[in-house]
Amino acid sequence: MSDCIFCKIAGGDIPSATLYEDDDFRVILDLGPATKGHALILPKHHYANLYEIPEEMAAKAMVLAKRMAAAMTEALGCDGFNIVQNNGEVAGQTGFHFHMHLIPRYNGDQAGITWKPGELKDEVRDEIVAKVTAALK
């Protein structure tokens, strides 16, 4: 897409701090990092979100995320790692080009990527199981 900033970055039209690049992806440092080393995996082809990206490309993105997490953990000496992928504005997606956040975690970093656990009630559980299994058929 001609107006997509992530397409321009992934395509090399806008300079970035590139950590990795291949035919399908570019991995860059995030300009608004949650922690030291926060990076983004950007496909070079435009997909708005997880719903649009082909399964083969989604699988490649996850394999790359694993590889990058291992390299970044070794290089940066972080204490843990988050891999985050948001879909839709309500879920925190701000750039509508599929991307994965690679967030090195450090003891005491205050990145705040957590939530307060709720309670799964039996009737809600049964409803969700029925609806999702039906949607998968």
Angstrom distance (rounded) from CA 79 to CA 111: 13
The pair of three-digit structure tokens given for residue 128, joined into one six-digit string? 């969700």
45 is catalytic: no
Residue 80, helix vs strand vs coil: strand
The H or E element containing residue 28 is: strand 25-29
Q: Which of 38, 46, 97, 99 is catalytic?
A: 99
Task: State the Cα angle at 24 between 111 and 44, rounded to 5°.
Answer: 70
Residue closest to 76 by CA, chosen among 120, 52, 46, 106: 106
Known catalytic residues are 99
